[in-house]
Structure 1
Amino acid sequence: MDEERRGTWFGFGFCGFGQALGSGLGRQVHSPEPLRTPGGSLGVCRVSASWSYTAFVTRGGQVQLSGAAGGTADGCTDAWASEELLVLLRAGPGAGAELQAWAPGSAMRGDPLWSQAVQEAEHGPSRDETQAGLLPLLPCARAYVSPRPPFYRPLAPTLRARRLELGAEHALLLDAAGQVFSWGAGRHGQLGHGTLEAEPEPRLLEALQGLRMAEVAAGGWHSVCLSASGLEEDGSEVKRGSAGEDGAPAPFIAVQPFPALLDLSPGSEAVKVSCGSRHTAVLTRTGELYTWGWGKYGQLGHKDTTTLDRPCRVEYFVDKQLQVRTVSCGPWNTYVYAVEKEKS
């Protein structure tokens, strides 16, 4: 049996308005559950979640919406979901493609709010350095997305963009040399420059110079960078502090304006990272999943709503003999694709 047939998408966390995690308004899923997608999880290759709906991209090029927004669209290679805007990437002739922006409630019928032809940059990264078929660099943040068409602004001639990640108020850029640049609002320390000041232009993250980064991810108020040697995190963290009225430790926000090294279990090598609004998920080379951060809705997958300030392995996939291959965090939920472990 091939990997596609053995693989299953799972989800956990907040499920709003009958999303694929289950039925019923505001359902919380504290432990991973197989998804009930509009056409079944088989064939889904990417997931993008907003608060009230989820966009599923199939290997056949179809986008399916589940939750408060519904509808399907064909000929798509990627989708990006937010509460105000749904952005689709539709393949075009040759190396070209077209960005389309839709109101989520439009069911992708009629005319999009705007459309924009896009083409691979003449001197940009090679296809080996990028993920072909994914959305290009979008100039809008998750929480404050604009319905206006994208604007184009040239980067410095020496800066070859490899990946762009967008938080609620800030952006991270990973270049072809493995350097990280950040800009936008910095009031939660999410830019990693040691201050809480905003940066209007991309600024090199000097604290990471000398370390080649392979992945970056931006959450609502925090950022995570992944290198071959470990994890670096900056921004706001949810920690446990003094006791609350019921005697349990009460959560509070700690601001961390400089990158700090985070360690997984000995021997674990992180290869992928994704950020939600206030939580983070990391995938290891051996297919284990670690999560930490805000856990109020079960988005960490540890069978409870505990908030964690250090990575903790999600035991569900270990117990079920599954290897996680992909992870994608929504604002208050987490989606993963896992396959059966090979039998020795």
Structure 2
Amino acid sequence: MGGGIEMLPPCILQDILYNGRLGPVDLASLEASSYMFRAASGIAPYRFKSIAELAAHHSCQMHPVFENFPPRARLELLARCEGNWKLVLHFLNSLQRSSGLSVGGSGRDVLVAAGRYHTLLVDRKGELYACGTGGSVLGQNPAVSNLQRPASIPLPAAATRIVQISANFNHAAFVTESGQVYTFGDNVSCCCGVGESGQPISKPTLVTTLERNPCQQVSTGQGYTVALTRNGELFSWGCNSHGQLGQGNTQEQFRPRQIEEFNESNPVAQVSAGICHTLAVTKSGQLFSWGYGSNYCLGHDDFLTELRPKRVEHGGFDDLFIISAAAGDEHSAAIDSLGYVYTWGKGYCGALGHGAGTDQRTPLVVAALKSTRAVQVVARRRKTFVLGDNGTVHSFGWMAYHSLGVQGKSASDTVVSPQSLDLALHGHKVSTIAAGMYHTLVITRKGAIFGFGDNDSSQLGPVSVTNETPLAVRIPAEVFSCVTGVVQD
């Protein structure tokens, strides 16, 4: 029987193209393999150069990230992607994959969260593992304080598949497929939102206060937690010494309490908790910050502490559409709708990437990354990581136990301008980055995990490679293959 895909009825071809399951690579393959998909389309307003481009445009219009973009931001992103809708779709998909949000996720991806001296992992089966040092945050018997190899953390029967997870100093939180939030750890200042303050929670425990508020993201700071609901509301609890809970006071909050400024009329798209300041990006592309301001990390051109969310309008942010932000220890970072990266706060050790160690009072674009379409930025202790939509990682700041992954530097050196880790990672394309205090992990698009930095507490697990020292893994090496089941060449 002769013919080919060109012989299929138009309605079937249209369904193939518009079902939303074809990614940019799939569309490019169709375009390259069949004249039908290379044929130009005269459909206004863009006069698509091919039917595959028309399909990519359709997928972009339906994308949950793109639907919030105002018309100008959409056109500017298209121009930045060389007028190629497949590149726009690739950017949006990469952004969604690395965002740490559960919405739109399949719940089948490998997840990693890095705390102070520990690491938490979720495999493709949805099982949770821990290794390193951290006491109750390891989710084991209270007598267990260190795990040299990943150990399974028993989950409550009601805890359906984990779709998002966060870890900071010594507590952690995760969101299940049904939107329920579970926490465990040292519970200092009642940061777990369950039980009495200071009483460790050694097993993942449901935060019952949020049962009727299904969530899409949790973010753990130092001694406090923030949860983002599927309706765009924010709840916070735990330590509030500098107003980092955004409740208008400095009183500890033992149970989740809603932040009044964010509701159905001003919903949040993403949140990030730092040491004692918090950042939130709204669906309208505005950035808000609150908490400790003496290190300029709030971006308000002053060093004042803010007890309630205040919009960041300096550095041109009043005219930008922000899509994600990261609150570090003493600095902050954000990405706009074009994939440009901005940093501000304490600049020592080069954590801002501006070529010097000076402080920055307001957001400033990282000029050295202007050619990169960034989809994720991670800010932790005196260091920053940026992931591009091409899967390449850049890092800058303090080397500290080689946790930047930059080769040819000592553990005490600083890197004041972004450096690519492409060679160090042997060309592997990365989909997500997680950084602890002094150790870093990246997940490749194939699901393998590479780690580098401090391993004195076995937070990277057993690493039997020649670059390991008693204290650190100097060169990125594959780790946790016993959990992921993935082994790279």
Q: Distance in 2 between matches of 1:293 and 1:35?
A: 24
Check conservation: 1:38, 1:64, Cα contact below 8 A. no
Determine helix, strand or coil for the equivalent of 1:51. Answer: coil
Q: Distance in 1 between matches of 2:326 and 2:149?
A: 27
Specify which of 400, 405, 415 is matched with residue 238 of structure 1.
400
The answer to whether residue 471 in structure 2 is matched with residue 313 in structure 1 is no
Specify which of 346, 352, 359 is matched with residue 185 of structure 1.
346
Compute the displacement of 1:261 (Å): 1.6
Q: 1:83 to 1:118 in 2, by over 3 A?
A: same
Q: Distance in 1 between matches of 2:436 and 2:486?
A: 21
Q: 1:39 to 1:232 in 2, by over 3 A?
A: same
Report the more deviating stretch, 2-11 or 288-297.
Answer: 2-11
Q: 1:223 to 1:321 in 2, by over 3 A?
A: closer
Alpha-carbon RMSD across the aligned residues, in angstroms, is 3.6
Report the more deviating stretch, 61-70 or 152-161.
Answer: 152-161
Q: Distance in 2 between matches of 1:137 and 1:310?
A: 36
TM-score (norm 1): 0.73
Amino acid aligned to 1:188 = C
Amino acid aligned to 1:200 = R
The answer to whether residue 325 in structure 2 is matched with residue 200 in structure 1 is no
Specify which of 140, 146, 153 is matched with residue 312 of structure 2.
153
Question: Hey, what does 2:238 align to over in structure 1?
Answer: 103
Determine helix, strand or coil for the equivalent of 2:132. Answer: strand
Q: 1:53 to 1:152 in 2, by over 3 A?
A: same
Check conservation: 2:349, 2:397, Cα contact below 8 A. yes
Question: Bigger relative contact order, structure 1 or 2, given CA contacts below 8 A and separation 6+?
Answer: 1
Specify which of 205, 214, 221 is matched with residue 82 of structure 1.
221
Compute the displacement of 1:201 (Å): 0.9
The answer to whether residue 382 in structure 2 is matched with residue 221 in structure 1 is yes
Specify which of 312, 315, 325 is matched with residue 164 of structure 1.
325
Q: Distance in 2 between matches of 1:293 and 1:302?
A: 13
- Give unmatched runs, 5+ long, in structure 1: 126-130, 241-250, 325-344
Aligned length: 296
- Give unmatched runs, 5+ long, in structure 2: 1-106, 110-123, 195-206, 240-251, 271-280, 299-304, 403-409, 465-469
Q: Distance in 2 between matches of 1:60 and 1:91?
A: 11
Q: Distance in 2 between matches of 1:40 and 1:22?
A: 19
* CA deviation map 1:19-58 (0-9, x unaligned): 2432336712232222234557642222222323221222
Q: Distance in 2 between matches of 1:87 and 1:174?
A: 20
Specify which of 116, 119, 123 is matched with residue 261 of structure 2.
116
Question: Hey, what does 2:441 align to over in structure 1?
Answer: 281
* CA deviation map 1:119-172 (0-9, x unaligned): 5779x99xxxxx999xx9562589999792221233535422111011101111
Q: 1:108 to 1:321 in 2, by over 3 A?
A: closer
Compute the displacement of 1:106 (Å): 5.4
Question: Hey, what does 1:9 align to over in structure 2?
Answer: 128
Q: Which has the higher strand share?
A: 1
Q: Which has the higher helix share?
A: 2
Rg comparison, structure with higher value:
2
Report the more deviating stretch, 155-164 or 198-207.
Answer: 155-164
Amino acid aligned to 1:108 = R
Question: Hey, what does 2:176 align to over in structure 1?
Answer: 58
Check conservation: 1:8, 1:42, Cα contact below 8 A. no
Check conservation: 2:398, 2:414, Cα contact below 8 A. yes
Percent identity over the alignment is: 22
Q: 1:61 to 1:137 in 2, by over 3 A?
A: farther
* CA deviation map 1:232-275 (0-9, x unaligned): 110001248xxxxxxxxxx8421111111213444521111121
Check conservation: 2:380, 2:435, Cα contact below 8 A. yes
Q: Distance in 2 between matches of 1:225 and 1:232?
A: 5
Question: Hey, what does 1:31 align to over in structure 2?
Answer: 149
Amino acid aligned to 1:116 = E
Determine helix, strand or coil for the equivalent of 2:349. Answer: coil
Q: 1:56 to 1:239 in 2, by over 3 A?
A: closer
Amino acid aligned to 2:445 = R
Check conservation: 1:21, 1:29, Cα contact below 8 A. no
* CA deviation map 1:274-303 (0-9, x unaligned): 211222111111111011122222222335
- Superposed counterparts of 1:254-265, under 5 Å: 254-263=413-422, 264-265=424-425
Determine helix, strand or coil for the equivalent of 2:137. Answer: coil
Check conservation: 1:238, 1:309, Cα contact below 8 A. no
Determine helix, strand or coil for the equivalent of 1:22. Answer: coil
Q: 1:268 to 1:252 in 2, by over 3 A?
A: closer
Q: Distance in 2 between matches of 1:171 and 1:137?
A: 12
The answer to whether residue 162 in structure 2 is matched with residue 44 in structure 1 is yes
Question: Hey, what does 1:330 align to over in structure 2?
Answer: none
Check conservation: 1:222, 1:278, Cα contact below 8 A. no
Q: Distance in 2 between matches of 1:140 and 1:33?
A: 37
Determine helix, strand or coil for the equivalent of 1:211. Answer: coil
Question: Hey, what does 2:80 align to over in structure 1?
Answer: none
